[in-house]
């Protein structure tokens, strides 16, 4: 078994190794630590709270099931988002659609007549629309970079491409977003 020193120093990798060895009590700690990042990653991609929760739970189930075969070859974030991205792509294929629905403001906030709030809401809708105008690979790459604060190398590993490919996607995504935001904001 190959266990890199980088991976070994990751506390979540340590928890996963304990789970692999049969210590199921650490599973809750992993869930508590990663449920927020996962749900928000899925939420920005799918714009559906229910689907986001479903998929986040699915990630943890996959994690639990695959624990006996786990090998600490990478940081835990790389491992968990690799699973998450596969599930996301499966979900896109399942629904046979690109997620282009506009955000439902009711999902996030109570209704209000406050003007400044409405402006904020409009900006948020513009951001969401711009994000969902991106192809899946560019959107995932920029979400992992900006939302999850992962490195280019980690994103490359998650998305199974080279680092330069990730940089190209990010660059193209930012060019698109600049244009989209210029038109809408």
Partner 1 sequence: MSKSTPETDHSLEAFDRWLGQMPVRPSSGFNVSLRQRIDVLQVVDLDNLIGDSVIMPRMGFKQRLHDRMAHDNRRMVAFARWQSWLSPLAAAAVLAFAFFAFQQSAPDPARADAAPDNRVAVVSSVDEELASIFALAANLPAGGDITKLEGVEALAFFSR
6 to 45, contacts with partner 1 by CB under 8 A? Answer: 28, 31-32, 35-37, 39-40, 43-44
Q: How far apart are CA 31 and CA 38, in angstroms?
A: 10
Binding mask 66-85 for partner 1 (x = CB under 8 A): --------------------
Q: Is 131 in the site for partner 1 (CB under 8 A)?
A: yes
> From the list 20, 29, 33, 53, which residue makes contact with partner 1 (rule: CB under 8 A)?
53
Residue 94 in 3-state DSSP?
helix
State which of residues 33, 49, 136, 152 lies at the interface with partner 1 (CB under 8 A): 49
Find the binding residues for partner 1 in span 93-112 (CB under 8 A).
94, 107-108
Residue written as tokens 């996301």? Answer: 88
Residue indicated by tokens 């714009």:
47
Q: How many CA atoms lie within 13 A of 6 on its CB side?
A: 8
182 part of the interface to partner 1, by CB under 8 A: yes
> For residues 33 and 80, what is the distance between their CA atoms, to the nearest angstrom?
12
Q: Please tell me whether residue 87 adopts helix, strand or coil conformation.
A: helix
DSSP 7-38: HHT-HHHHHHHHHHTT-GGGHHHHHHHHHHHH
Cβ nearer to partner 1, comparing 73 with 168: 168
Q: Does 160 bind partner 1 (CB under 8 A)?
A: no
Nearest residue (CB) to partner 1, 74 versus 141: 141
CB atoms within 10 A of CB 109: 11
User: Binding residues for partner 1, per CB under 8 A?
Assistant: 28, 31-32, 35-37, 39-40, 43-44, 49-58, 60-61, 64-65, 94, 107-108, 123-124, 127, 130-131, 142-143, 146-147, 149, 171, 174-175, 177-178, 181-182, 185
């Amino acid at each position: 078994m190959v266990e890199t020193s980088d991976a070994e120093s990751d506390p979540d990798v340590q928890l996963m190794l304990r789970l692999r060895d049969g210590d199921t009590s650490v599973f809750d700690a992993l869930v508590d630590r990663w449920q927020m990042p996962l749900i928000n990653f899925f939420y920005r991609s799918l714009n559906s709270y229910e689907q986001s929760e479903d998929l986040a739970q699915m990630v943890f189930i996959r994690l639990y099931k695959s624990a006996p075969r786990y090998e600490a070859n990478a940081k835990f974030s790389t491992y968990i988002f690799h699973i998450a991205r596969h599930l996301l792509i499966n979900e896109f294929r399942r629904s046979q659609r690109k997620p282009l629905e506009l955000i439902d403001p009711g999902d996030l906030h109570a209704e209000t007549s406050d003007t400044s709030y409405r402006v904020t809401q409009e900006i948020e809708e513009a951001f969401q629309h711009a994000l969902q105008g991106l192809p899946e690979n560019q959107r995932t790459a920029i979400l992992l970079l900006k939302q999850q604060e992962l490195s280019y190398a980690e994103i490359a590993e998650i998305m199974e491409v080279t680092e330069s490919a990730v940089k190209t996607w990010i660059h193209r995504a930012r060019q698109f977003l600049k244009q989209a935001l210029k038109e809408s904001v």
